[in-house]
Amino acid sequence: MATNVQTSKEDFIDTLIKLGGVVSFLTTVVSFVLQVGGWLDDPETLRVVSGVAFALYAGSTFWFAFKARHVTATWRWSSLAVLYVATMFYFTWVGTWLIAPVTKPIIIDDMTGISVWNYAQLPGSSVAIRGVTDKETYAMQIDYMVAKDGWVGIYREISSGALAGTKAIGFSFKGNGAPNTLELKLFRKPDASGRSAIFGTLWNQATNTADWKYVEVPYSQFVCWRDTGCLPGELIEPGDIWKIDIAISNKVNDTPGRGTVFIGPILTIP
């Protein structure tokens, strides 16, 4: 009788351990999925996290296969087979780190000073800019008021060929107040007639956010502004960009009014 009680107690404890392991594994997977977007912004962090996660997974699998009580041969070899396949995929991915080193964004404007920026507005709208910092990063604060169908914009020139060899441009922003459209425009070097073709992208009703947002746009997604000197469907050559423009505009379904937008450092992706 005492032996049966002891066996039942051991089985109960073993079941709790198994259950705890499963819950821990599922929690790790869910946490990884939820956080992977943020980790992707820092590949070095992703490498460390993925290595730790794989080590935990491998350790849990070996414990399950060889230490857990009452595991059938089918479950044991199935778990080891899955680990074998996962290991091949993981180390194939690890191998690509040696072939394709992690590239870091290039800072075009760290927003430590805003004297290089100018601003403009459509009559009836207004804009004011100033530099701010939260002790971790610098940003430009844009206080605006846009009338219906109005717009305000800030722009700066960059050195010739500054974006050559890069594939995308990005920045972080946050804002509050009347939700309006945020636009990013790139200007091509003026042609012989002095016209500077404009390529742009936009985010509707994006100026009212709860927190910082990061946007990264490949140059292939910039659309030619008709009648500015480029053709519909034409792609911009990064090395030809000489001016960057960020605008806040009132478009369909936007709300005219006042607001504030903060623009963080502008980066390019090699």
Using the predicted structure, report yes or no on whether residue 102 has a pLDDT greater than 70.
no
Q: How confident is the model at residue 243 (pLDDT cuts 50, 70, 90)?
A: very high
In a shared domain, residues 18 and 116 = no
Q: What is the mean pLDDT of residues 217-222?
A: 92
Tens digits of residue pLDDT in 119-137? 899 999 999 999 998 767 8
Between CA 35 and CA 146, with CA 214 as vertex, the angle to 5 degrees is 140
CB burial of 103-127 (b: ≥16 within 10 Å; e: otherwise) equals: eebeebbebeebeebebebbeebbb
User: 100 pairs with which residues across the strands?
Assistant: none
Using the predicted structure, report yes or no on whether residue 209 has a pLDDT greater than 80.
yes
Mean pLDDT of the chain: 81
Provide the residue range defining the domain that includes 164.
106-269
In a shared domain, residues 57 and 111 = no
What single-letter amino acid sits at 2? A
Point out the domain boundary residue: 99, 124, 143.
99
Q: In angstroms, what is the C-alpha Rg of the chain?
A: 27
In a shared domain, residues 253 and 149 = yes
Contact status, residue 222 vs residue 245, Cβ threshold 8 Å? no
* SS3 track for 52-82: HHHHHHHHHHHHHHHCCCCCCHHHHHHHHHH
Lowest-pLDDT choice from 26-30, 37-41, 73-77, 168-172: 37-41
Contact status, residue 156 vs residue 266, Cβ threshold 8 Å? no
Closest by CA to 172, choosing from 140, 205, 126, is: 140
- Give the predicted TM-score (pTM) of the model: 0.62
In a shared domain, residues 86 and 113 = no
Point out the domain boundary residue: 99, 118, 145.
99
**pLDDT value, residue 266:** 93
What is the CATH classification number for the domain harbouring 124? 2.60.120.430
In a shared domain, residues 12 and 76 = yes
Point out the domain boundary residue: 38, 70, 99.
99
In a shared domain, residues 226 and 199 = yes
Using the predicted structure, report yes or no on whether residue 150 has a pLDDT greater than 90.
yes
In a shared domain, residues 93 and 165 = no
In a shared domain, residues 147 and 259 = yes
User: 129 pairs with which residues across the strands?
Assistant: 142
Q: Beta-carbon neighbour count of residue 54 at 10 Å?
A: 17
Distance, in Å, from the CA atom of 166 to the CA atom of 106, rounded to the nearest integer, reads: 9
- Counting residues of the chain whose pLDDT is more than 70, the rounded percentage is 77
In a shared domain, residues 236 and 206 = yes
In a shared domain, residues 174 and 258 = yes
Question: Based on the structure, what is the number of domains in the chain?
Answer: 2
In a shared domain, residues 53 and 129 = no
Contact status, residue 15 vs residue 9, Cβ threshold 8 Å? no
**pLDDT value, residue 202:** 94
In a shared domain, residues 43 and 112 = no
